[in-house]
Amino acid sequence: MDLNRTSLTALAQGLRSREFSSVELTRTYLERMAAHSSLGCFITVDPERSLLQAKAADARLARGESTPLMGIPVAHKDIFCASGWLTTCGSRMLSNFVAPYDAHVIQRFNEAGAVILGKTNMDEFAMGSSNETSFYGPVRNPWSTDRVPGGSSGGSAAAVAARLAPLATASDTGGSIRQPAALCGITGLKPTYGRVSRYGMIAYASSLDQGGVMAPSAADIALGLTVMAGFDARDATSVACPEEDFTAQLARPLEGLRIGLPRQYFGEGTSVAVTKRIEEALEVYESLGARRVVVDLPHSDLSVPVYYVLAPAEASSNLSRYDGVRYGWRASQYGDLGEMIARSRAEGFGAEVKRRILTGTYVLSKGYYDAYYLQAQRVRRLIQQDFLAAFEQCDVLMGPTTPTTAFAFGAKGGDPVEMYLSDIFTIGVNLAGLPGMSIPVGFDEVGLPVGLQIIGPHLSETRLLGVAHRYQQATDWHERVPALVQGGERG
């Protein structure tokens, strides 16, 4: 079995036909994870627990139960609470927190018979674009281990890229699925806000957070999304739409597809290699029957500043529950109650989290609220309207996921704003609540992957997955694996 090139559908077929068992498959992945532990993809691995689940899946398979993901091992971002698993969210604050309940996403995968492979590394509380803010150390980009994998879902992206997991869950608040997917050369989907329940997904910025999924291909992602998506009464922002099989329309032809190219996504600041690969991808799409339309997103340059007002504002409040009183990190030395809370937070949170809590507290303060928070909400509305107007002229939007390919560790450590700008193309999608994908479309001159972002109207995941799938039928970029993986051919 060549796990490097085996699709999820093929794995599921192998399980159903008893070519191999879930225990064997899980063990194989656990071995690969151990062999590549230096990549830092996982915060928690618990082979015994995983194999127990695999065994249960084998029993269900033997009884003839054959849901598409039965027995398939899946890596979960450590932002999802999984009952009995250490759930850290990349922070020292939760370094002792064993979740007593399952997130909706975990529950769905468990019910589908999937096996939890482990909990993947991430930027602390999903705040970061390089996975450098994790308390549990950096994740290395499998294509070049001196480069970052992107963030905040860096562990999930690198694990999929190195084929340490066939599928990984992730979350995206400002690009945390699409950006690392692009930098790691894999496919990633951030669904429409409300499509996947946030229940049990540790909150960073509630109005922007959305759970999603990463895999080598769009077809695999369609399988994963079918499991994850659906209404959940425990999330008041969950969208009440009927359950869908996202694999059903993957093969739909692209004849007549109107691809909108936002003027603002093609300009200075994007590297030559990225620009070239995107152009080549668009040519592939034209050969598949699509045509280009240039569109305008006039407020897109405001998306980064708006995001860095709204997301920290929500985060400053969301992270108030970490006070050392009921669970999580508690300082060992303190005088009174106020000091206990202050010290626990001072010790438990890292620098980037503190920066955003302070920023958020500031923008919500009396006297500043109108000028920052309210103003940002108004501009957010304009950004949403830009997208809706653009979708009157096209079916999907395309552009680079990131301005550059993966950067070196510490390259953007000095100036947080420079780091924030690496999400310039992805943040608008979150502000507008839209679904977005990143798919691999080739490599730069040093062999680092380039990602194409595809954005669709609300609840258009079926269309997006089809658009990505047709491209992947015509190309093989998504099948390339890094050299450090046995059998890999590029590096």
Partner 1 sequence: MKWELVIGLETHVQLATRSKMFSGSSTAFGADPNVHADAVDLALPGVLPVPNRQAVAFAIRFGLAVGANISRRSWFARKNYFYPDLPKGYQISQFENPVVQGGEIVFQAEGKACRVPLTRAHLEEDAGKSLHEAFHGRSGIDLNRAGTPLLEIVTEPTLRSVAEAVAYARTLHQLVTWIGICDGNMQEGSFRCDANVSVRPMGQVEFGTRCEIKNLNSFRFMERAIQYEFERQVEWIENGGTVVQETRLYDPDRDETRAMRSKENAQDYRYFPDPDQLPLCIDEAWIAAERQHLPELPAEMAQRLRDQMGLSAYDAGLLTVSRGWANYFLELVTGTGMDPKLAVNWMTGELAAMLKRADREISHCPLQPAQMLGLLRRIQDGTLSGKMAKEVFEILWEEGGEADQIITARGFMQVSDLSVLESLIDELMAAHPDQVAEFRSGKEKVFGFFVGRAMKASGGRANPAQLNTLLRDRLKGNH
Q: Site residues (CB under 8 A) for partner 1?
A: 80-81, 87, 89, 94, 97, 99-101, 103, 198-203, 205-207, 233-237, 313-314, 316-317, 319-321, 323, 325-327, 337-338, 341, 361, 364-366, 369, 373
Distances (CA, A) of 316 to 204, 290, 369, 490: 9, 44, 14, 43
CB of 206 to partner 1, least distance (A): 4
Buried b (16+ CB within 10 A) or exposed e, 236-250: eebbeeeebebbeeb
Pairing label, strands 210-215, 168-172 = antiparallel
Which residue in 469, 474, 473 sits closest to 454, CA to CA? 469
CB of 128 to partner 1, least distance (A): 18
- 46/323 with CB nearer partner 1: 323
CB of 313 to partner 1, least distance (A): 6
Give the 3-state secondary structure of 442-479. Answer: EECCCCCEEEEEEECCCCCHHHHHHHHHHHHHHCCHHH
CB of 369 to partner 1, least distance (A): 7
Give the 3-state secondary structure of 142-205. Answer: CCECCECCCCCCHHHHHHHHCCCCCCEEEEECCCCCHHHHHHHCCEEEECCCCCCCCCCECCCC
CB of 320 to partner 1, least distance (A): 2
- 103/181 with CB nearer partner 1: 103
Environment class of residue 415 by beta-carbon count within 10 Å: exposed (0-12), middle (13-18) or buried (19+)? exposed
CB of 301 to partner 1, least distance (A): 24
Distances (CA, A) of 472 to 164, 248, 464: 21, 16, 12
- 63/366 with CB nearer partner 1: 366
Distance of CA 107 to the CA centre of its chain: 18
Environment class of residue 335 by beta-carbon count within 10 Å: exposed (0-12), middle (13-18) or buried (19+)? exposed
Rounded CA-CA distance 123/119 in Å is 13
Pairing label, strands 187-190, 168-172 = unpaired
Q: ∠ at Cα 302 (300, 308), nearest 5°?
A: 125
Pairing label, strands 115-120, 42-44 = antiparallel
- 45/313 with CB nearer partner 1: 313
Residue 462: how many other CB atoms lie within 10 Å? 20
Q: Which member of 50, 153, 176, 460 is catalytic?
A: 176
Q: Which two tokens stand for residue 471?
A: 């491209």
- 220/314 with CB nearer partner 1: 314
354 assigned to active site: no
- 89/297 with CB nearer partner 1: 89
Pairing label, strands 291-295, 258-262 = parallel
Q: Which two tokens stand for residue 329?
A: 């990190």
Q: Which member of 21, 22, 50, 77 is catalytic?
A: 77
Q: Which member of 22, 91, 152, 460 is catalytic?
A: 152
Distances (CA, A) of 77 to 184, 261, 334: 16, 32, 33
- 206/375 with CB nearer partner 1: 206
CB of 489 to partner 1, least distance (A): 40
77 assigned to active site: yes
- 312/457 with CB nearer partner 1: 312
The contacts found for 366-372 with CB under 8 angstroms, 24 or more apart, are 372/309, 372/313
Asked if 451 contacts 187 with a C-beta cutoff of 8 angstroms, the reply is no
- 270/316 with CB nearer partner 1: 316
3-class DSSP state for residue 488? Answer: coil
CB of 388 to partner 1, least distance (A): 19
3-class DSSP state for residue 100? Answer: coil
CB of 56 to partner 1, least distance (A): 24
Q: Which positions are catalytic? A: 77, 152, 176
